[in-house]
Amino acid sequence: MGGDTAVAVHRPLTPAQVLSWLPRSATPAQQDSAIQAHFKPSEIRWSNRPDTLHLPGHDRGHNMLDVNIPQYYREGFFSKDTLFHPELPGGRYGVAGDPRPYTVHADNVLTGMLLSSFLLAVVAFVFVKDFMLRHLKSLVYGNRAVNEQKDTGLELQFEIFLNLLAALLLSLLYYFYTLHYIGETFILSSQYYLIGINFLIFVAYYLLRMLLYTMVNNVFFDGKKNGQWIHVLLFIACVECVLFFPIAMMVSYSNISVENIEFYFVLALGFVKLLTIYQCYNIFFRTNVVKLQIILYFCALEIVPLLILWGVLDLTANSLKINF
């Protein structure tokens, strides 16, 4: 050796050396297993040294994604055009068509309101069917003994529900009348507010009419007849609900002319008023000698409030309408 010291140099293992240890018949799966057995993934450590690969006398290179072009390239005749900038909303091109007119059958809120009211009325009628038939017989045959019977709590709730439903149907019908004869634009943010205002007016009309009847009847008649008359008024409002519901459905979902709708409404309203005056005669004026008093009674407590109601509704609609 002559005093020379042998220095063993440790060289890193390469994949080629590992594969050379395997026989020639080794499969790719065996080769992959051998590589994974000798080589383990290690943490990558990136260099933190500054980039010095630039020409002498020049600044270091910039990021290729940092683009800064001159102003005259960024602004031009088509700089704000949507075809030049696809990321901007382009809008619509061409001539705008005529807007689709408002139709009641396309209004989801009114449709849901009518359908839910109909379903609730049908379900309620199933529970108080005997009550309805009993009162219908009393209206037709004038049986005062039926009116003297006290209604149960469920029957009274059913009557109140149908009274509110009648007020809602009348508010919808007057809303349709307003759209046809008065106007379609109002100062309200939504047309449903107009229906709500009409509904409150009709509820107030029913309450004030019943209060007026009670005050007058307490002066001229006894408490027994007054109680009978209150029950009759509640049930007559239920009859109004049954008669006015087909009108609301015909206005919403049929092509019947407005004149036919108005004729049917006047016919139904006339029938209700004749039924009211007939029951008023049976309860208060059957034993009265002077029969003409019923005309004054009916005009003062039924016709005059109805005319006042019409005036209030017309004044409200014209006050809320937008005049161009």
Tens place of pLDDT per residue across the chain (324 aa):
444 444 455 677 888 888 888 888 889 898 888 888 888 887 878 777 766 666 666 666 566 556 666 666 666 666 666 666 666 666 666 666 666 766 777 778 888 888 888 888 788 777 777 777 777 777 666 555 445 555 667 777 888 888 888 898 889 889 888 888 888 778 887 888 888 999 999 999 999 988 888 888 887 777 777 888 888 888 888 888 888 888 888 887 777 888 888 888 889 888 888 888 888 877 777 766 556 677 777 787 788 888 899 999 999 888 888 776
Question: What would the two tokens of residue 221 be?
Answer: 């008649």
Q: How far apart are CA 121 and CA 246, in angstroms?
A: 13
Residue of 146, 110, 172, 173 lying closest to 283 (CA atoms): 146
Residue of 3, 276, 63, 315 lying closest to 182 (CA atoms): 315
Question: What would the two tokens of residue 42 be?
Answer: 């290690």
Question: What would the two tokens of residue 250 be?
Answer: 């015909």
Question: What would the two tokens of residue 288 be?
Answer: 């009265």
Bridge partners, 92 (sequence order): none
Question: What would the two tokens of residue 157 be?
Answer: 């709730």
Neighbouring CB atoms inside 10 A of 114's CB total 20
Q: How much is the CA Rg of the chain, to the nearest whole Å?
A: 44
- 218 contact partners, CB below 8 Å, separation of at least 6: 226
Residue 185 identity (one-letter amino acid): T
3-class DSSP assignment, residue 306: helix
